[in-house]
Structure 1
Amino acid sequence: MIVLPTWWAPSLLALILLGDVAISLRPIGFIRQCLESVELPQRWWWVLIIIKLLAATGLIAGIWIPGIAFAANVGVIAYFVCAAIAHIRAGATGTAFRVNCLGMLVLSIALLILSYI
């Protein structure tokens, strides 16, 4: 059985994802660099914004609906695992990768663990 998580962990992750969405609408330098370094065509960048919006929505809804936040958090982890794989395959393992991609992956995992212990 999945236990309803505390409200702060999914809220924090949702807030961070919404901030990421905001700076991705017109990608600032390091976001643009990350997307270009993995050779993701610019015409597909909007998909990442939709994925993050859906994840944030699921995290917020999950505060009241058991299991939804858990699923959304696992989805965020999967997203950043895929992003990490894309960076490694492209050889783009610089500071932006370590700070942004791996930082978000670690944060997502930590918040999931904190939500369910």
Structure 2
Amino acid sequence: MFDIPSPVWPTAVLIVVLVGDAVISAIPVQLVRDCMDGVRFPVDDWGWALAYIKVVAVAGLIVGLWQPGVGVAATAGVIAYFVAATVAHLRARSLGSTFWVNCLGMLAISLAVLVSSYVIG
């Protein structure tokens, strides 16, 4: 049912953005620290896991450019990740700019890729 992404460019954009997100999560930069502090996530102990999840998602998106079904599964995983992040922010009442820009921004990009490359593409 789900083939390779068509068009490919939205998935390529998600790959680039997610690589950047993985890099800033691995460091982690102050934006990421603020985000994690807001939801009381122990970034010093478990921040590496978030970067790892994003790297694995990037690998899935790249493989999905050639292997049917893999890209849509990876995109769905990215959406699930940012839905979970959204829920964490809402529960912690951490609704500052990191929530709106990073969390909901990434969720919107991921949903747009799913719709444009797999549902209507």
Taking structure 1 as the reference length, what is the TM-score of the superposition?
0.95
1:36-75 alignment, distance < 5 Å: 36-41=37-42, 42-75=44-77
| Corresponding letter in the other structure for 2:10 | A
Pairwise CA RMSD of aligned residues? 0.9
The unaligned stretches of length 5 or more in structure 2 are none
User: Share of identical aligned residues, percent?
Assistant: 48
Number of the residue aligned with 1:101: 103
- The whole-number CA distance in structure 1 between the counterparts of 2:13 and 2:53 is 17
* Kept after mapping to 1: 8 A contact 2:26/2:47: no
Q: What's the CA shift string for 1:71-116, capped at 9, x where partnerless?
A: 0000000000000000111110111101110011011001110002
Following TM superposition, by how much is the alpha carbon of 1:29 offset from its aligned partner in structure 2, in angstroms?
1.3
- The whole-number CA distance in structure 2 between the counterparts of 1:2 and 1:24 is 30
* Segments ≥4 residues shifted beyond 3 Å: none
Following TM superposition, by how much is the alpha carbon of 1:3 offset from its aligned partner in structure 2, in angstroms?
2.5
Taking structure 2 as the reference length, what is the TM-score of the superposition?
0.92
The total of aligned residue pairs comes to: 117
